[in-house]
Amino acid sequence: MDTSLIHWVKKKEFHGSEQISPWSQFHPKKYGRYSSRDLSVPVLIRTIRRLTKAKLQMASEVSSMLRNQVAERASAKEETSILQAELDSQTRRLETEKNELQSVLEKELDIRSSDWSLKLEKYQIEQQTP
């Protein structure tokens, strides 16, 4: 889950006990009996308006969070692409370096092998002549 979403939820949970819910104005007695005044048309209209406003506010907040998540994902995808390009570049550089070192070592091995072959040949000639 996105950290901004978690932060928003925790903030709402923390402030939830302090805020007055739109339903609390519809249920002023909290689980008690309702008077006809509590269920009157003007009270119901105000409650509906408050609920609609709260719904729009929450929809706006969710939309904003979703836009932020999309932007964060796009940013992460771009960063991943950049890091992959860097990794590929380093891999090619190391492969080139490895090939160069291998070539140098093979040349050195050829030189030493030739030297030893010459020394062996010289030794064998010396052994044949008394």
Of 41, 45, 56, 47, the C-alpha closest to 20 is 47
Q: What is the pLDDT of residue 12?
A: 64
Confidence band for 3, pLDDT divided at 50, 70 and 90:
confident
Give me the long-range contacts of 59-66 (CB less than 8 A, separation at least 24).
Answer: 61/8, 65/2, 65/4, 65/5, 65/8
Q: What is the pLDDT of residue 20?
A: 46
Within a domain: 80: yes
Higher-confidence residue of 30 and 91: namely 91
Within a domain: 20: yes
Within a domain: 106: no
Query: pLDDT at residue 30 above 90?
Result: no
Within a domain: 104: no
Cβ contact 66:8 at 8 Å: no
Instruction: Give Cα separations from 39 to 28, 29, 52, 54 (angstroms).
Output: 10, 12, 18, 20
Q: What is the pLDDT of residue 40?
A: 85
Number of Cβ within 10 Å of residue 110's Cβ equals 10
Number of domains the chain contains: 1
Instruction: Give Cα separations from 34 to 22, 30, 40 (angstroms).
Output: 16, 9, 10
Of 125, 104, 130, 102, the C-alpha closest to 117 is 125
Within a domain: 12: yes
Query: pLDDT at residue 116 above 80?
Result: yes
Within a domain: 49: yes
Higher-confidence residue of 26 and 106: namely 106
Q: What is the pLDDT of residue 96?
A: 98
Tell me the average pLDDT of the chain. 84
Within a domain: 58: yes
Confidence band for 22, pLDDT divided at 50, 70 and 90:
very low
Q: What is the pLDDT of residue 5?
A: 65
Cβ contact 37:43 at 8 Å: yes
Which two tokens mark 96? 């080139």
Listed ranges 2-16, 83-97, 108-122; the one with the highest mean pLDDT: 83-97
Within a domain: 14: yes
Range of the domain at 62: 3-92
